[in-house]
Structure 1
Amino acid sequence: MMTLSIIVLVLYLALCVGIGIYAHRAQSGGTAHEYLTGGSDVGFFVNGVAIFAAFATGGTMLGNMGLSYVGGWGYITAYNAGVAVGYLITAFFIAKVFRNMNVSTVPEFIRERFNSKVLNVIVPIILIGTLTAYLVAQMKVGGLLGERLFNIPYTWSVVLIGAVYIFYTAYGGMKAVTLTDFLQGLIMIAVVLVTGVIAITKGGGVGNLYSMAQEITPQWTQTTAYPHIAYIGGFLVWASVLAILPHTVMRIFSAKNERTGRASLTLGVGMYVITSIFTCIFVIALTIILNNGAALPDNDAAFLIFLDQAVPEIVKAIAYAGIFAAVMSSVSAMLLALGAALAYDLVGALKPDYPEQKKRKLVPVSIVGFGILTLLLSMNPPELLTLLYSAAMGLLASSLFFPAILGIWWKRMNSPGALAGTLAGAISYLTLLWGFDMPPLSEIAVSLPVSLLFSVVVTLLTAPPSEQEMRRITIAHEREFTLSDMNQEV
């Protein structure tokens, strides 16, 4: 079975590399916009599965289950409910306008909507910091898996995975990321369904499985692990960050049209909800039963312990591939967003006349640089990785959610208001995170309203935006912003 696992993994990694080469050849002469959107021609099913794969991270496949085991399924359900709401916000309040504005990234939307040089520098920097923390958390999963599957040191496992995803992301761009995410999403959902059914079968049915786990660990079914403000915070983080999370929003730009983008988001959230129920409830319930509710050596390894104890060897081998797929699908999408934040957004803000072809060449170089940086930072990550990357997402949401949402739907919203909301959200969140001992993720329950307050008050105290500044967003509410519109601006 070890030999079979190695063969499956090698073939899988080779296929990812091959997809990267194919995607590079398909768009090697394209612009930076094409590189970051994959040509904007991805269909509903492929894009939907890719959205699920990009968001169903290594944290979903390991970290969420570990948090369910130690903190109760109610706590992780608050996260997942936020994810569902966040997808709906993106689908119905973000997708159409972002798509019609004909932009490639979230910072580009901010740049086109608000005329603020300071904001154009701050937003990419915030993205770079938060996405780097997110990537470090995901790479821990790859290291854990390599140790268990191949009995090789954590460090070399991280390097193996990193070398592959850095290559196909930098070489093939969004097209490679989308195609590999589609493949990885199919593998993941298959693993989720099979292991969930095994847990239900071995537990004697859903009702019996749940009641047995509840009897062994009563707190698993209660909301007593953390103060209630932590549950509210977990919900708010994901309900707000999905609307501005780059690897979700960029999928809107890669879809054939706005309707396809919305449908893809709906499919993605449906697959994610199924995954959450099967893993964080069914699989963890049986894990509690098999281990009699005992403390685990590493809570993030709860799913790996379940695989060792409950499934046949062939299913275990496929499940390992599924976890590898979860890691690589999320890190590749995040890595592409990191490269875009630096080369496309930050450089674009500092050097507005920077040639398009040079941007196109700089993005993959940035991807390689960030890939190496995250490999180094992931060598000694903390435990409970779900809390690690969720804290980073809390900072991102506190900074950008209301400036983006109000920038779309409130005509009075102006640049000083957006800048004030961004800074107030970020500063208040970091102050609470580093200066006070608060329950996990509860900081956003304060920082998000602070961002809203500063955005509104400063906007009302300063001059409204001009018609010229509002022209592009006004057009985007009705139809796509085209090349002829751009020529009229010039």
Structure 2
Amino acid sequence: MRAVTTRIASTAAASAAAAGALLPISAYAAGAVDGAVQKQATNVSAIVMFLVFVLFTLGITYWAARRTKSAKDFYAAGGGITGFQNGLAIAGDYMSAASFLGIAGLVYANGFDGLIYSVGFLVGWPIVLFLIAERLRNLGKYTFADVASYRFKQTPIRTLSACGSLATVTFYLIAQMVGAGKLIQLLFGLDYMFAVIIVGVLMIGYVTFGGMLATTWVQIIKAVLLLSGASFMAFMILAKFGFSPEAMFKAAVDVHPKGVAIMSPGAFVSDPVDTISLGLTLMFGTAGLPHILMRFFTVSDAKEARKSVFYATGLIGYFYILTFIIGFGAIVLILGKDANGAYPFLTAAPAEGIKAAVASVIGGTNMAAIHTAHAVGGDLFFGFISAVAFATILAVVAGLTLAGASAVSHDLYASVFARGRVNEADEIRVSKITTVVIGIVSIVLGVAFENQNVAFMVGLAFAIAASTNFPILLMSMFWGKMTTRGAVMGGAIGLISACVMIALGPTVWKAVLGHPTAIVGYANPGVFSIILAFAGIWFFSITDNSAQAQKERRDFEDQYVRSQTGLGAEGASAH
């Protein structure tokens, strides 16, 4: 057990100060940590396993590139992904390193209360299952903007939808890149810039050459690896307690500084408004993430789309149960003494009889799951989990990059600028160029934000998705009186209010800009910006009596029939 932890401990003080505990909102991020992290000793087993993953996925990219001929192939994998495969890919796209490292770290630090993110991330999926998946597949082609603009003026709706998508993707991507750099710097011993460049180059390769088909299989492989690794960890943890969760909880209470309080809710997020707002942001943000919504166009019809959400929900729910076990197991294995009476995963052993400080874990609470992997599986499993953490980021950034590229090429270039008068070859070429640009920009921004608090960027990404993309998408499918003016004004209000309130809130105004108090007292603005978006859509729609608005209302019946039956949908039939 000593080998890896001794190497890491050589620069533990710098790492712990830099990595720190996750801010509440940064559990969205892919394990993003703040501040400078000193280079660690090289983890050979992790690098070998990561290279195997990269070589295998590059082989898949070569295979996919030979089969990617049309726009449908590039954006939607030809519509040939099965429901089960797409369910795995959705799970792989959604389960970022934050779901593994971030939530496990929150449970380690706060106990039961750390599960608020697991619950928030999960409860968004019934909304996707029952309200969005089938209708999205029946009405759309490649992006959710196809649905949002179905019966409205194409230019304003697609422009707003593309802006919402690009904003969400950009903010999310920056946090992923910074998280990648910091994690690999800490776990693999590579330089930060080198790690960011590796992620950027690989994601450009996956998306540019393999399109959605390669991205899908990268996500499927990553999901299988992550679920397998987490399952093994949870099994080994429970085995240490005779497969008795009660015994594990009792041991955690005995060693955690908070004692029995870790089994009660309310200590981590105590403000009722902030708690409700956080839940709404997580729930509706999930249903508005462009890289997740794109996945429903990769299946053959609405029935397969429904199946894919069903499988994804089950896999994601199972995974979050595992993070609960891993988090409590980490409390016992990290804060408790080992067989030699030492604390190998803490920066400094506490005095005899004094309970260990939670934040003294080497690398910060983000690394709780990684140290737990080493405690239950030794150096080899430590390397495996480290490689999976990096693979997780690669899969997520590939999906984000493809969503951003499609927003530019399909929504802006093909539909707004060229007004549909463009051939598939030109559209794909623009998408590939955009992919390269997004990759280069993400590398530059990842390096530029190395020592900045990027938590607010991921919070802003979810807030924009929940306040802009989701209201427009939902209302366009279910409310016949919605008009172009209502969609544009309501979506713009949601976008602006989310950005402004986060900028004036404690996450940016206090933590980033250093002001003593925040102008907006809530870290999560979702409850306000989402309501403002829906209210804006309603008000500006019912007050719009133009001829165009009347036509849009009449067209709703045709849209509703197609959304329910699939008649007229590409590759679909009534069922």
SS of the residue 1:113 aligns to: coil
Query: Which residue of 195, 201, 204 corresponds with 2:239?
Result: 201
1:286 aligns with 2:329: yes
SS of the residue 2:300 aligns to: coil
SS of the residue 1:312 aligns to: helix
SS of the residue 1:256 aligns to: coil
Residues 127-183 of structure 1, C-alpha deviation per residue, up to 9 Å, x if partnerless?
Answer: 112211111222233223322443121221222232222201111111111111111
Mean Cα displacement is larger for which, 12-21 or 340-349? Answer: 340-349
Q: Tell me the equivalent position of 1:346.
A: 412
Residues 248-297 of structure 1, C-alpha deviation per residue, up to 9 Å, x if partnerless?
Answer: 21121101221111111111121112221212x22222322323342145
Deviation at 1:51, TM superposition (A): 0.8
1:466 aligns with 2:546: no
Deviation at 1:104, TM superposition (A): 0.9
Paired AA for residue 358 in structure 2: A
Indicate how the Cα distance of structure 1 residues 18 and 185 shifts in structure 2: closer, same or farther if over 3 A, else same.
Answer: same
SS of the residue 2:358 aligns to: coil
More helix by share: 1
Structure 2 unaligned regions, length at least 5: 5-42, 336-355, 506-517
1:143 aligns with 2:181: yes
CA contact (8 A) 1:403 1:418 kept: yes
Indicate how the Cα distance of structure 1 residues 144 and 411 shifts in structure 2: closer, same or farther if over 3 A, else same.
Answer: same
Q: Tell me the equivalent position of 1:488.
A: none
Task: Within 5 Å, give how 1:158-307 maps onto structure 2.
Answer: 158-203=196-241, 205-215=244-254, 216=256, 217-218=258-259, 219-221=261-263, 222-226=265-269, 227-279=271-323, 281-289=324-332, 290-291=334-335, 292-295=356-359, 296=361, 297-307=363-373
Paired AA for residue 525 in structure 2: E
Query: Which residue of 162, 165, 170 corresponds with 1:132?
Result: 170
CA contact (8 A) 1:137 1:385 kept: yes
d(CA) in 1 for partners of 2:234, 2:522: 28
Paired AA for residue 527 in structure 2: A
Mean Cα displacement is larger for which, 437-446 or 357-366? Answer: 437-446
Equivalenced residues, count: 481
d(CA) in 1 for partners of 2:423, 2:502: 40
1:316 aligns with 2:382: yes
Q: Runs of 4 or more off by more than 6 Å in structure 1?
A: 382-386
d(CA) in 2 for partners of 1:385, 1:434: 12
Deviation at 1:305, TM superposition (A): 3.0
d(CA) in 2 for partners of 1:483, 1:183: 30
Query: Which residue of 378, 382, 394 corresponds with 2:446?
Result: 378
Q: Tell me the equivalent position of 1:413.
A: 482
CA contact (8 A) 1:67 1:386 kept: no
d(CA) in 2 for partners of 1:299, 1:440: 24
Indicate how the Cα distance of structure 1 residues 203 and 294 shifts in structure 2: closer, same or farther if over 3 A, else same.
Answer: farther
1:47 aligns with 2:86: yes
Query: Which residue of 83, 102, 109 corresponds with 2:147?
Result: 109
Q: Tell me the equivalent position of 2:495.
A: 426
d(CA) in 1 for partners of 2:388, 2:527: 34
Paired AA for residue 344 in structure 1: H
Paired AA for residue 18 in structure 1: G
Paired AA for residue 288 in structure 2: I
TM-score by length of 1: 0.91
CA contact (8 A) 2:184 2:390 kept: no
Identity %: 21
Indicate how the Cα distance of structure 1 residues 44 and 74 shifts in structure 2: closer, same or farther if over 3 A, else same.
Answer: same
Mean Cα displacement is larger for which, 248-257 or 457-466? Answer: 457-466
Instruction: Give the RMSD, CA atoms, in angstroms.
Output: 2.5
CA contact (8 A) 1:299 1:384 kept: no
Task: Within 5 Å, give how 1:1-80 maps onto structure 2.
Answer: 2-27=43-68, 29-30=69-70, 32-75=71-114, 77-80=115-118
Structure 1 unaligned regions, length at least 5: 486-490
Task: Within 5 Å, give how 1:441-480 maps onto structure 2.
Answer: 441-463=523-545, 464-466=549-551, 469-470=555-556, 473-480=559-566
TM-score by length of 2: 0.78
